[in-house]
Amino acid sequence: MKNIQQRIRPLLIKYLALPSDVVLELPRITVIGQIHAYIENHKGLALFTDEELRLRATKGYIQIKGSSFVLKMMLPEEILLEGTITDIRFISE
Amino acid sequence: MKHTQGKFLSGYVTILVKGNMPELFFQKCVEQGISVWNVRKKGVDSCVGNVKLSDIHAIKQIKRRGNYRISFIGRKGFPFLFHRFIKRKEVLFGLLIGIFAIIFLSNIIWKVDINGLPKEIEEKVVKQLESYGIHQGAWTLSLGTPSDIQKKLMRDVPELLWIGVQKKGTTFQLEGVEKLIVKEDKVKGPRHLVATKKGTIKKMYISKGVPQVAVNDFVKPGDVLVSGVLNQSEENNKEKDKNKVFVASEGQVIANTWYEVAVSIPLEAKYEVLTGKQEKRYYMGINDFQVPIWGFKTPEYADIFVEQNENPIYFLKWKLPFQFIESSISEKTYHTTKRTKEEAIQIGIEQAKQELVYELGPDAKVISEKVLHVTTERGKVNLELYLTVEEDIVKEVPIQKNSKDGD
């Protein structure tokens, strides 16, 4: 059953032009310059310090590095990060 | 950032979480649906963040499940400000005094405005109003409603045709119309005086016109009593038109008229009488609830008659949901009288006379009465009376030009 779903979803994106983040349950990251990062569709916070934010995603983690990090807003599936961002990296398990 | 809108109004606290991986505590909060903002890491094992005041309870429950220590380090927002404000007694006291002063001043008459009346009647109205206690600076709570005042004014100032009383905030606005006594037109067309009822003529006072009937004559409705045509006796047809003089006849014709009246009088009558003993009580009304403020003791009256007078309290121009209620409790007693048949008949006759005079006007006089028929039925005496009344039966009827040509 899951197999069929996984096969259908890319087809949905391709032919029905549905947004890929919704259909595939992938995180959407909006970055405004170096100062803001807005992450939606994550699966929870794993680590947060002044210089690093690590969020769980469907597969693996999202790692954001920088300095003077503040979580401006936390909602169940959204996070707004403020600070100076230097790099964003996807870590697969 | 919609979820943090209004956070100032509802109040929020900054919490310091200590323990292993303190940021995970916030993660747990978020999973419970608590919104968290401005999360900052202070050290390896401490983290601060803001949460709403209303979520404190839920946070304490989460704390109990994990191994964290929480301390509140900042309280911001309106609830805390308000609390601090409440603590300052003198400010609060001043505020209360201010509100009371406004309420007090809102319930005082600042102005009595009278429009549409000439000076002397206005003066009279002002005097009357003062006797009711309505003047500048009076306390409005013990006054009657505008419609009561209107009724009283109409009764006490006979010169008024109409007066509108309106209470606009702290101003009483009165709009009056003077009763113009229209002088009857002196110049009137020629007219006859005609009988309106059948009767025998008792007295006649004719100031103008030719009487057509004499005392003790029997007249029917429509009979000409006084003619407005002079020189009617002129026999010569040719000269008739020339000699004819038309006048507006004037006069009074008093006649005896008869009425048949039926009345029924109960043999047993119950009525209530106020004894004059009275207690006053004052209440503060809040919606339907009444809080007594003066007059607590219950009068020991067997039967009472309660009259309530409600006056709304104003704050500036707004009506507050409070009323000042003045209620007077009067003692009343019930009386029962039993009448004999003869007494009942006497009362019946008196009642019938009064009713008839009321109907016919103050000039009518009942001169004799005769009981035609008496029956007693279910505790009532039914009477049929025959009343003889002395009254003016005159009606003015103009003389038509056409009809007089045909004469």
- Hey, are the CB atoms on A71 and B33 less than 8 Å from each other? no
CB B27 within 8 A of CB B44: no
Domains and CATH numbers, chain A: 26-91 (2.60.40.2000)
Which of B12, B17, B21, B27 would best serve as a mutation to test chain A binding (most A beta carbons within 10 A)? Answer: B27
Indicate the pLDDT class of residue B221, thresholds 50, 70 and 90: confident
Backbone angles phi, psi at B35, to 5 degrees: -90, 140
CB B197 within 8 A of CB B221: yes
The rounded mean pLDDT for chain B is: 81
- B94-148: per-residue pLDDT in tens? 989 999 998 888 888 888 888 888 888 888 888 888 888 888 888 877 777 788 8
Tokens at residue B406, please?
A: 């045909």
> Would you list the domain boundaries of chain B?
9-82, 111-178, 191-248+395-402, 269-337
Same fold, B9-82 and B111-178: no
pTM: 0.42
* Residue-level pLDDT at A70: 92
Indicate the pLDDT class of residue A25, thresholds 50, 70 and 90: confident
- B261-297: per-residue pLDDT in tens? 888 888 888 888 888 888 888 888 887 788 888 777 7
Residue B405 has pLDDT above 60, yes or no: no
Mean pLDDT of B45-49: 90
Residue B406 has pLDDT above 50, yes or no: no
Which amino acid makes up residue B142?
S
Residue B404 has pLDDT above 50, yes or no: no
Distance to chain B for A64, nearest Cα, Å = 15
Indicate the pLDDT class of residue A82, thresholds 50, 70 and 90: very high
* Residue-level pLDDT at B3: 61
Indicate the pLDDT class of residue B43, thresholds 50, 70 and 90: confident
The CATH homologous superfamily to which domain B111-178 belongs is: membrane protein fhac (3.10.20.310)
CB B141 within 8 A of CB B311: yes
Residue B306 has pLDDT above 80, yes or no: yes
Indicate the pLDDT class of residue B16, thresholds 50, 70 and 90: very high
- Hey, are the CB atoms on A76 and B41 less than 8 Å from each other? no
B24 interfacial to chain A (CB closer than 8 Å): yes
Q: CA-based angle B366:B371:B376, to the nearest 5?
A: 130
How far is B229 from B224, CA to CA, in rounded Å? 11
* Residue-level pLDDT at B143: 76
Mean pLDDT of A50-57: 90
Which amino acid makes up residue B273?
V
Question: Could you tell me which residues come within 8 angstroms of residue B214 by beta carbon, excluding any fewer than 6 positions away?
Answer: B201
| Among chain A residues, CA nearest to B38 | A72
Which residue, among A75, A69, A66, has the nearest Cα to B37 in the 3D structure?
A: A75
As a CATH number, domain B9-82 is 3.30.70.260
How far is B207 from A17, CA to CA, in rounded Å? 111
* Residue-level pLDDT at B161: 84
More confident residue, B393 or A1: B393
Which residue, among B372, B390, B392, has the nearest Cα to B382 in the 3D structure?
A: B372
Chain B neighbors of A47, CB-CB under 8 A: 21, 23
* Residue-level pLDDT at A86: 94
B1 interfacial to chain A (CB closer than 8 Å): yes
CB B364 within 8 A of CB B353: no
Indicate the pLDDT class of residue A79, thresholds 50, 70 and 90: very high
| Among chain B residues, CA nearest to A78 | B30
How far is B113 from B135, CA to CA, in rounded Å? 10
Indicate the pLDDT class of residue B379, thresholds 50, 70 and 90: confident
Chain B neighbors of A80, CB-CB under 8 A: 1
* Residue-level pLDDT at B186: 53
* Residue-level pLDDT at B187: 52
Chain A neighbors of B39, CB-CB under 8 A: 48, 70-71, 74
How far is B228 from B248, CA to CA, in rounded Å? 6
Alpha-carbon dihedral angle through residues B269, B270, B274, B277, given to the nearest 10 degrees: 120
Chain B neighbors of A72, CB-CB under 8 A: 1, 37-38
Which of B32, B41, B47 would best serve as a mutation to test chain A binding (most A beta carbons within 10 A)? Answer: B41
